[in-house]
Amino acid sequence: MSDLSGKPDYRGPATLTFESPPAEFEVQIDLRGHSQPIDGVFRWYGRVRPHEALQGFMEAAGSSRKGRLSTDSGDVPVLVSDVDLWGRYRLQGTGMPPYPLEPDVDPDGEAETAATSSPQTRALDRAAALLEPEFRADADTTDGYVELLGGTPAPSPTTASKAMNNPLVASIYEKLWRPAGVAMMGVGGLSMSAERAKAVADLRLSGAMSVLDVASGPGNFTKYLSDQLSGDGIALGFDISEQMIRRAVRDNRGPHAAYMRGDAQSLPFANNTFDAVCCYAALYLMPNPLTVVDELIRVLRPGGRIAIMTSYGRSAAPVKSILGAVSGHIGIRMFDKNQFTSIFETHGMTEIEQEVRGLAQFVSATNAR
Ligand SMILES: C[S@@+](CC[C@H](N)C(=O)[O-])C[C@H]1O[C@@H](n2cnc3c(N)ncnc32)[C@H](O)[C@@H]1O
């Protein structure tokens, strides 16, 4: 059985009962599960769809509650806990789940197992397996990527962020928008393919590495990074925009490339998860770029490489004030030259390299922790 790929293992009606105080609710649930490679125990988990009476009961009874969950396939103990923003309570249990344990069956009736699933599905499984367990319960992979935001739209407070959430921009981003933006930043003659090659060289990619590409847009770098990998290597594109992620799934999936929708201000991975972390052309769009940089460093393993490309404000006063006015108006930040090199130094990173080209700066480093 695959870990989190495709639809849930069970979606449908169930009865949730509690002993004290006694209560019974007819609910709709989504469940999935897998055997842990470490202890071999089958763990299943999921969510109850919003249910007003259950919510009233849970609010009165406490934040988590043991009960029983029955479906046509079984009646098992369950823990009901953490409600999410959409009013869905978490369900979890171990051992036999209340649904039949069979291989996933696709709509055409053909069984999909680990051996027969597509390379893209296996890449998505490997990506989902990188999540911290508490986020796996919330992950939905129905649309070919890992959705962690429950379909809520990304915030669009500025002109620039509005553009990133616009389906038209997402559709022309890779071919038109990005090259035009690079030309405006005067990236000193570096084409996008040269920028990609620079990212690969700076990150020192090869083999079965795990690579996180934060703010991956439509996957225009992620796929290229993934092409340098082999074996179980995975490049995971991570972005907050549904439009961008959908485009990435359409145009830039691959045997080593998968996508996840979430907020980079709080990455859903444990410390030291990735061999390499990349963030190109995005920090200047974000309201809290330094929080995001701290997150990038946190999830990078000791000895791993980080590479960022962002804006550079130039120090000449008249130029700076014009830049400040224009960029502030559309919601783009200009950074000082030593902004990121000094953060990397503070974190004890080594091999810090910086290249400034036009209004862009490329900074890379090794995590020496
Ligand atoms: C200009 S695109 C960069 C795409 C690609 N990295 C490149 O170099 O062409 C910036 C991306 O940052 C994403 N983004 C902005 N804020 C984010 C956040 N808090 N978490 C994740 N992605 C974010 C936007 O949705 C957008 O797709």
- The tens digit of pLDDT for each residue in 195-217 reads 999 999 999 999 999 999 999 99
The predicted pLDDT at position 246 comes to 95
The predicted pLDDT at position 145 comes to 95
211 in any annotated domain: yes
Residue 281, ligand 1, Cβ within 6 A: yes
The predicted pLDDT at position 105 comes to 39
283 in any annotated domain: yes
Residue 216, ligand 1, Cβ within 6 A: yes
What is the number of domains present in the chain? 2
Prediction pTM value = 0.71
Structural domain containing residue 92:
10-109
Whole-angstrom distance, CA of residue 107 vs CA of residue 11: 14
Region at 170 (left for phi over 0; alpha for psi -120 to 50; beta for the rest) = alpha
> Does 98 share its domain with 165?
no
Q: Mark the ranges of the chain whose per-residue pLDDT is less than 50.
A: 1-6, 37-38, 103-115
> Does 93 share its domain with 176?
no
Residue 164, ligand 1, Cβ within 6 A: yes
Can you read off the two tokens belonging to residue 249?
A: 């799934």
> Does 271 share its domain with 183?
yes
CA of 340 to the centre of ligand 1 (A): 18
The predicted pLDDT at position 1 comes to 34
The closest-lying atom of ligand 1 relative to the alpha carbon of residue 265 is 19
The predicted pLDDT at position 323 comes to 53
CA–CA distance from 3 to each of 98, 106, 112, 147, 175 (Å)? Answer: 17, 15, 12, 15, 34
CA of 302 to the centre of ligand 1 (A): 25
> Does 216 share its domain with 311?
yes
> Does 358 share its domain with 214?
yes
Q: Under a CB-based contact definition with an 8 Å cutoff, are residues 311 and 361 in contact?
A: yes
CA of 282 to the centre of ligand 1 (A): 5
The closest-lying atom of ligand 1 relative to the alpha carbon of residue 244 is 27
> Does 77 share its domain with 199?
no
The predicted pLDDT at position 276 comes to 98
148 in any annotated domain: no
Nearest CA, atom 10, ligand 1: 282
Q: Quick check: helix, strand or coil at residue 58?
A: helix
Residue 282, ligand 1, Cβ within 6 A: yes
